[in-house]
Structures are given as structure tokens and as C-alpha cells.
Structure 1
Amino acid sequence: MTPVEIEAEIGAKRLRPEWSVLALDDDMIVGRAMWWSRDGQTPIALDVWDARCDHPEATTILNDLLTRGHALLADAGVDVPLQHTMRIPTTWRDDELIRRDVAVKTAAAAAGGLARSNERRQFQWDAGSSMPPEPHRLRFEPADDSTFVEMFARAAQGSLDVMTRRELAVTDPLTLARGEVDYYRSCPGDRDWWRVAYDLAGNVVGVAIPSATPTNRNVGYLAILPEHRGHGYVNDLLAYITHFHVREGALCITGTTDAVNTPMALAFNRAGYQCTETRIELEK
């Protein structure tokens, strides 16, 4: 994160001093760890975590920041460790310094309890970019939470999403779906934006959830039910969400997908989105 972004998050109380740790060397800041909260009440992620790469003890600094921070959060009743996302250039594998930095942080994260990693791609649509055609093969209707729970559970089967597959290894589809609905309800986007997609024969094809982050509009969630995959409906759902946000005046729309989810990445490209960064998510 840039200093301006960090200052804005502190001002919004999503980053707070009591959730932050600094590493000092002769009064010079050489490392920092800052945990983030969506609502300013309980931290849910390690947002800023870095050490000066030219410092001879960079690895030790990263480890000690986690140790100290986890102790402070645990004393406050927070279940640690919390996930961390590394944001790096899309060409990071071509840069030796970045590759080394990723390796150092991944090892330090594993030592601090964040042993699992998942590489993701961040996409962005900006005003003036090409627009996907309006979807005409589907109609989009609101529905109650129980319907969305059912749709999330059905869509989880055969999903390419890494987190979904990990969750299904330890829980059942309905439990996973309830957690997903709760998560998207907690996001800044409006619940009234959610839609179920039907084909012209009245069959449920999937779901489209336009959402938002604290800073911009977001694709949120879209999924095709297993029996309707392979017909290009992903383009229709993404087009619906994109046009929805643009009609609401959005100048920037973001979306993220796993690196292994090639069909979704291609859909973003077709819809006028550009890949802006790689994210490596580290979690327990």
C-alpha cells in the first residue's frame, strides 16, 4: 500500500495504532505490521507487513513483527494468525529481487502460522474502457437469502475457486454457502443489488452479485450452476455486473480471480478489464 492509502485507512479507522507494530533500528523504522478491519471494530486481515529489503536482518524483522503483533491481538481476544495478501506486479517472476522478496515473506509467513498460499489476479475496468455487450440471453431477478444459500451451495460443486475447494474438503456445501452469503452481506455493497440469473426458458443459470470495497465498485461474486457450464454464460453475468455499476456512475470496477481459474480471467479480458497486479494470499 502507498503512504496515501495507508493514511486514508488510518483516517477511516480501518487501520488502528493498537493493531500495529513497528520495528526500529536506531530510531529508524525498518519494518511494520498493520492489521485491518472492515468495520473498524475487529481486525480481519494483516494488511501491511514489510521490512526494508536492504536490511541484513529482514527475515528476523518479519518474523518478530508477526510474533509481537500476534501476541497483542491474542491478548485482545482476536483469533490469530489472520490472512495476509502480497500485492506484486503481474511480471513478478521476471524480476529476481521481487522473486526473492516473495520467497522471504512466504517463508516468514509460514513460520508465523500462514502456511497456505494462493496466487490470484486483480482486474480493473476504468471509465473509457470498452464495454461488454448487454446480456440478452438471461434475465436477472432478486431473491431472498435462502435462495442465494441454495445457489451458492450448488455452484460450489466443481468450482475452480481454490478457497471453495479447500472449504469443501473440511465442510459441507450448505455450511460453506451460508458463510459466503454472510460475507457478501458484510461487504460495503448493497444487498438489493444481488440477482439470480434465469435463461429464457425460466431455468436458473447462476447468480450475479455486484458489490463494493471501501474505495470502489467491485464485481463481487458470480457463478454458473454446474449443469449450465460450458455455454459462455460467464460473459453474460460479468456483463450484467459491469453495466449495473456503470449505470450507477462507477468510474472504476475491480475484480479478482484465482490464477488457476483461466476461464474467469479470459472473461475479464473480453469484458474490457485489465490485469493490474498479482496477489499472493497467505493464510493458515
Structure 2
Amino acid sequence: MRPITGREELDLFTRLPYVLDDELADDLTAGRRLPEWMWVALRGDRLVARAAWWCPTGDTEPFLLDVFDLDDSDGAGIDAGARLLRTAMAEVVKEGARPPEYIRMVPPDWRETPAARRVVEDRMTALERTGAALLVERLRLEWRPGAPVPEPKGRLAFRPVRDTEEMLSLMTSVLDGTLDVHSREALSRMSPREAAVAHYEDDLAHYRSPQEWWRVATLPDGEPVGFVTPARNDYNAIIGYIAVLPAYRGKGYIDDILAEGTRILAAKDVPRIRAATDVGNVPMANAFLRAGYVNFERSINMTWS
């Protein structure tokens, strides 16, 4: 069990396939991955397990464990995978630090397809043997050119976010009553303001697009109702964060706000717009579907305590 020596071993690393394989070379070039974060378990010349961590551009510490694969040809892959993770995490994760979250993209119908279900559950079993537990399952959604973009209804006005402090204030306010599991987990460990700052620094601060794209939704008198952050990350145009303030939930404003974010990105002639929400966040999931987004994938998110 060892890390790869460099990009010259990508052919070895990709013997076990996954949807992110095409991004690995660019990630290494950009510093979003390091060879010492990309581990393999070999039995002779046979690759029996692999794991890789990722970080946003400009960071220096691993942020996600987003590649973890097993040789599914026999029953030994689960044991090998668990051993690989324990060995690699001892080197990759700083002593005393919480291991980065695990995320795996899975088919939307993975539970109904026996082969896909085995792949997902075997990896989850290996992770559980290292102390990880399921945090949440999420819908991954995509808007594609040609899908309709609703016209403004006129109920809300939209303006750019004034500054970082206004954004943090809005992000803090919408945590009251949130259905988002990641946000609720953060609130179990820190104050709403601290959770908002952490979310901003870990996510919004890394967008590759200007903050001028972000919008605050207001009533005609200027009272904020919610916000949306249409953006680009390292890979796609995204609806990064969208929310309605607690006092205005249940009035259908989420449709207007999502439509505004979609219009901003569609005007940039992007090939697609990506978004995600928890399976359990039914109001948000339904809003995306009403807006013409397609559930093309799900993700399994696991964490260590």
C-alpha cells in the first residue's frame, strides 16, 4: 500500500474506473490533488483498491475523499479497501484532525439495480470499518440548454450582494430551520455565525466567477427575502447556494429566486448548470424539478466523528 509516484502512474491508478477519472490529470496540474494523496493497494501487479483526496484550487490540505474504489471481482476488496484507508489516512490526515468527508457519485436508481447497489454498499461497508457513517444522500441536478427558463413574475426584485458582511448575515439568518443536513451538522458543533463563515470560506470563497453574479431577492420595498449564488467552480456553472429567509418560506419565492439564478448562468451560454440538494429537502428538490433541472445522479456523503 503506497501513494502513486506521480502522474506517470495515472494509468495504474485508473485501472479501477470511476466518473472522476477524466479530471485527475488536470487536478494534479492545478494542485487540487497531490500524488501523496492518491493511494493504491496492490497484490502483485493487480490493483485491488485505491483512494484519493481533493482540495479546492489554492488550498493545501485535503478537503474531500472523493475517489475510493475496490476490485469487485472477488470478496477481498472490502478488507483491502478498509486497510488501505486506515493506512493512507494515517499519512494524509494530520494527527488529531477530523478526516475529510467522503463523497461518491452514484446512479439515481442505484438501489433498484443489483450491480450498482453492490458497488455502493461494498464501499460503504469498507468505510464503516474505519469509523465512517452515512451523513446524507443528495440529489445531483442539471439544467441543460434548451430547457425553459421562466420569465420573471415581478413579485421580487433582484440586486447584487453589497459585500461579504451582507452575505454572511444572510447566510446566518437562513440557518434557522434549515433542512440541509450539512448545515444542521455544522450547527451541532458551532454557532450559526461560525457555521456561515465556515461555509463561506470552504465553498463560496473558491468560486471562479465574480461575486457580481450573486443576487439578493427583495420585496418591492427592498426587504430581503432570500438569495442565490450563481457561479462557476473549477468544473461547471453551478447554483452554489440558494435559500429563503425563514419569515418568507412557504410562499413559493424559491421558484422566483432559482429562476433568476438560472437566467444569469443561461445568459453566459454555459453547456450545463449543476446543482445539488439533500434527498430529504423535498421543497428544494421539487423547486429544481419545476425549474427544468434533471436528477442525473445522486451522491453518498459519509463522515467520521
Deviations 1:25-55 (A, max 9, x none): 2212222111112126322111211011113
Q: Does 1:114 align with 2:132?
A: yes
Q: Is the 2:227–2:257 contact (alpha carbons within 8 Å) kept by the matching residues of 1?
A: yes
Q: Does 1:24 align with 2:42?
A: yes
Q: Is the 1:73–1:80 contact (alpha carbons within 8 Å) kept by the matching residues of 2?
A: no
Structure 1 residue 237, shift from structure 2 partner = 0.9
Residue identity in the other structure for 2:138: R
Q: Does 1:254 align with 2:274?
A: yes
Consecutive unaligned residues of structure 2, counting only runs of 5 or more, are 1-18
Which of 196, 199, 207 lines up with 2:219 in the alignment? 199
Deviations 1:93-149 (A, max 9, x none): 101222233222222212223224210000001112222223522122222222222
Q: Does 1:272 align with 2:287?
A: no
Partner in structure 1 of residue 70 of structure 2: 51
Cα distance in structure 2, aligned partners of 1:145 and 1:179: 13
Over 3 Å counting, the alpha-carbon distance change for 1:175 and 1:80 in structure 2 is: closer
Cα distance in structure 1, aligned partners of 2:97 and 2:233: 23
Partner in structure 2 of residue 138 of structure 1: 156
Q: Is the 2:135–2:181 contact (alpha carbons within 8 Å) kept by the matching residues of 1?
A: no
Cα distance in structure 1, aligned partners of 2:212 and 2:200: 13
Which of 248, 262, 280 lines up with 1:242 in the alignment? 262
Q: Is the 1:90–1:277 contact (alpha carbons within 8 Å) kept by the matching residues of 2?
A: yes
Residue identity in the other structure for 2:227: V
Cα distance in structure 2, aligned partners of 1:3 and 1:160: 32
Structure 1 stretch displaced more, 104-113 or 51-60 = 104-113
Partner in structure 2 of residue 173 of structure 1: 192
Over 3 Å counting, the alpha-carbon distance change for 1:27 and 1:78 in structure 2 is: farther
Partner in structure 2 of residue 187 of structure 1: 207
RMSD between aligned residues: 1.8
Residue identity in the other structure for 1:93: R
Over 3 Å counting, the alpha-carbon distance change for 1:251 and 1:261 in structure 2 is: same
Q: Does 1:63 align with 2:76?
A: no
Partner in structure 1 of residue 244 of structure 2: 224
Structure 1 stretch displaced more, 5-14 or 144-153 = 5-14
Cα distance in structure 1, aligned partners of 2:90 and 2:198: 27
Partner in structure 2 of residue 156 of structure 1: 175
Other structure's SS at 2:228 match? strand
Cα distance in structure 2, aligned partners of 1:172 and 1:80: 19
Q: Is the 1:132–1:272 contact (alpha carbons within 8 Å) kept by the matching residues of 2?
A: no
Over 3 Å counting, the alpha-carbon distance change for 1:271 and 1:33 in structure 2 is: same
Structure 1 residue 228, shift from structure 2 partner = 0.5
Over 3 Å counting, the alpha-carbon distance change for 1:172 and 1:13 in structure 2 is: closer
Q: Is the 1:30–1:55 contact (alpha carbons within 8 Å) kept by the matching residues of 2?
A: no
Q: TM-score, normalised by structure 1?
A: 0.93
Consecutive unaligned residues of structure 1, counting only runs of 5 or more, are none
Q: Does 1:82 align with 2:83?
A: no
Q: Is the 1:206–1:223 contact (alpha carbons within 8 Å) kept by the matching residues of 2?
A: yes
Runs of 4+ with deviation above 4 angstroms: none
How many residue pairs are counted as aligned between the two chains?
283
Q: TM-score, normalised by structure 2?
A: 0.87
Other structure's SS at 1:156 match? coil
Aligned-pair identity in percent equals 31
Cα distance in structure 2, aligned partners of 1:3 and 1:208: 31
Cα distance in structure 1, aligned partners of 2:28 and 2:146: 31
Structure 1 residue 4, shift from structure 2 partner = 2.2
